[in-house]
Structure 1
Amino acid sequence: MKTIVAIRTNRWTSEEERLLASLQASDVAVVFHNRPEGVAPPVRVVDVNDEICAGMGLGLPQDWGWRCGDYFYYALRAACPEYDHYWLVEPDVFFAGDASGFFAAFEGDDRDVLAIDPKPFEDRSHPFLTSLQHLEPYRAIFALTRFSGRALDRLLPLRRENGQRAGIKRRFANDEFFAFSNAWADETLSVGNLVETVPDWFEGGYFDTDPDLLIDALRDDPATQGKVFHPVKSKEHWVGSVAKRLANKTGFLGKMGPSLAKLSDAEIEVLADQARANLLAAIKTARNAGGASERK
């Protein structure tokens, strides 16, 4: 059974280099969305962009690079058809310890689709399910998954057809709902739970969509060894992510336009300075509380 592990990314930074280093014991590739000129990771690269996806007959919502992780699988399968199974790993997945043991545990597993706790999704009104109402909705986090070549060959024509449905541009099915709902509905495909095969990697670990974890809080802690975590970022990227998240909590300002219009630029500066002081105090309070918890 021939298997390849691929990193899904749209940039090449210390995050991707860290993940690549942890995967070096495996057959590794990078599936690169809109690779900048001159960027050359030290392993096989499979490029994916609008032209390549259009050539495969796939629909192209504006945010497909984020929303449609399964497109990376189809590009990988097309470029490397000799493999039986394909792993796709996102850069914010962190294996604390030797990742080769994680992947070795699945070498004899011939199931078609493996993910972390694939399960039914109750809310059929979710906009990403608009074009999938004929299916029982299933989902799983897409950051760490494995699909067989057979599964990808069956999903690709379904994805082509799904992308041609009228009136779904803003409600285009995402990777999680599309891939797992269709795989679960296909009686010829087997779907499995990664956690059941390697429970030790997940017990005491953390694998969710939010919040971001700082790698410094995990790397040197003996209790994290042999665990897998997501989402994890280096300090540079973690700080940027948290800052962006804090800045996004400003929707209420849209309702205050008439009042804000009465402020001069200098008065707005004062407002921003006071907000910064309050925010800084809140961050320090949270940091100190975290430090106290560690010392207990």
Structure 2
Amino acid sequence: MTKTLFLIRALRFDPVAAQLADTLTKATGQKVVFVCDESRGSTDTAGYDKIALTPGRLKTLGLAKAPDDWGWFWGDVCYYAALARYAEYDYYCLIESDVFLSKDAAAQFVDRLSRQHEDALAVRLGPMDAPQKYSRPLEFLGLDPKWGCIFPVSRVHRSVIRSMLKLRKRSIEQTPNGRLNDEGVLVGAIQEGGYSHAALDQILPDVFRPKTFDTNPPHLFEPLMDGPDLGHAFHPVVRFETVMERIENKYKNYGRHRLRMVLRAASPDMRAKIEAVLD
């Protein structure tokens, strides 16, 4: 029987991350491990196992020449650190902490993973019609820049992780100014190694729906927790408190258009407070 380690990539242990960890633990019956960027301080993961990512850890992985924004841009380092710490697993599944999985969605996801034997899985994984923004450096590495995916949920075989690390190191040496992100490294390694792969949104279309699972706009956490179990995965998910802070700090253009899903799901009281701050 194959073994899968479930990882949560997080900067902090907030209620969204806590809900995800609890849901995954119950769905898998196994431990869940946090992988935390601790370059700016330690993260308390409330008893969950944790891998700390720091510049020192990157050096031990052979990635000393990392950009300043590696914690955001290089999500692939979570896989390398996990393989180095927990080498006994066949597959590693990495989920970002702003993903919401209901009980039903998690059950469907975990069950389907147990029956999927591709080397790599991610949402929208595969060749596209045009070069992808953060896959463009692949062209200078002899690979197809039209390949892409989105990275909030992915699962890879340990052999893919080793290939990803080799490609990451090669990209540092051959394209030091290239902006090859985590998804670019994943799709590049798939091409280079000839690994089998599939798109999660095609395998589980009712879980990974375009309207609920994307890179934006954000979805409000509280209604998802309090509402019916729709059986869908949501991303990105933010708390009401975070929405208010980001509007006030002019973060990521948090205007009405970007917050359209938040405003649609918010309670009348929440909506009034958001509108007041936007005005």
Deviation at 1:51, TM superposition (A): 0.9
Native 8 Å contact 1:135 1:182 kept in 2 = no
5+ residue gaps in structure 1? 250-278
Within 5 Å, which residues of 2 pair with 1:159-174? Answer: 159-165=168-174, 167-168=176-177, 171-174=178-181
> In the alignment, which residue of structure 1 is the partner of 2:271?
none
Scaled by the length of structure 2, what TM-score is found?
A: 0.80
Deviations 1:116-141 (A, max 9, x none): 12133455484662354321121111
Tell which structure's C-alpha radius of gyration is larger. Answer: 1
> In the alignment, which residue of structure 1 is the partner of 2:68?
62
> In the alignment, which residue of structure 1 is the partner of 2:233?
228
Amino acid at match of 2:35: V
The answer to whether residue 155 in structure 2 is matched with residue 146 in structure 1 is yes
The answer to whether residue 118 in structure 2 is matched with residue 114 in structure 1 is no
Counterpart among 84, 93, 98 of residue 90 in structure 2: 84
The answer to whether residue 166 in structure 2 is matched with residue 157 in structure 1 is yes
The answer to whether residue 112 in structure 2 is matched with residue 102 in structure 1 is no
The answer to whether residue 36 in structure 2 is matched with residue 32 in structure 1 is yes
Native 8 Å contact 2:219 2:235 kept in 1 = yes
Native 8 Å contact 2:122 2:151 kept in 1 = yes
> In the alignment, which residue of structure 2 is the partner of 1:8?
9
Amino acid at match of 1:102: F
Scaled by the length of structure 1, what TM-score is found?
A: 0.76
5+ residue gaps in structure 2? 269-279
In terms of fraction of residues, the more helix-rich structure is: 1
Q: 1:243 to 1:122 in 2, by over 3 A?
A: farther
For the residues of structure 2 that align with 1:38 and 1:288, how far apart are their CA atoms? 33
> In the alignment, which residue of structure 1 is the partner of 2:190?
183
Deviations 1:4-49 (A, max 9, x none): 1110012222222121111112331111111734724312111211
> In the alignment, which residue of structure 1 is the partner of 2:144?
136
**Which secondary structure state, in structure 2, belongs to the residue aligned with residue 47 of structure 1?**
strand
**Which secondary structure state, in structure 1, belongs to the residue aligned with residue 83 of structure 2?**
helix
Percent identical among aligned pairs is: 27
Native 8 Å contact 1:132 1:178 kept in 2 = no
Deviation at 1:217, TM superposition (A): 3.5
> Which sits farther off after the overlay, 177-186 or 35-44?
35-44
Taking only aligned residues, the RMSD between alpha carbons, in angstroms, comes to 3.0
Deviations 1:92-115 (A, max 9, x none): 100123313321211132211100
For the residues of structure 2 that align with 1:61 and 1:183, how far apart are their CA atoms? 23
Native 8 Å contact 1:112 1:190 kept in 2 = yes
Q: 1:287 to 1:191 in 2, by over 3 A?
A: closer
Deviations 1:230-253 (A, max 9, x none): 001121123223444x4565xxxx
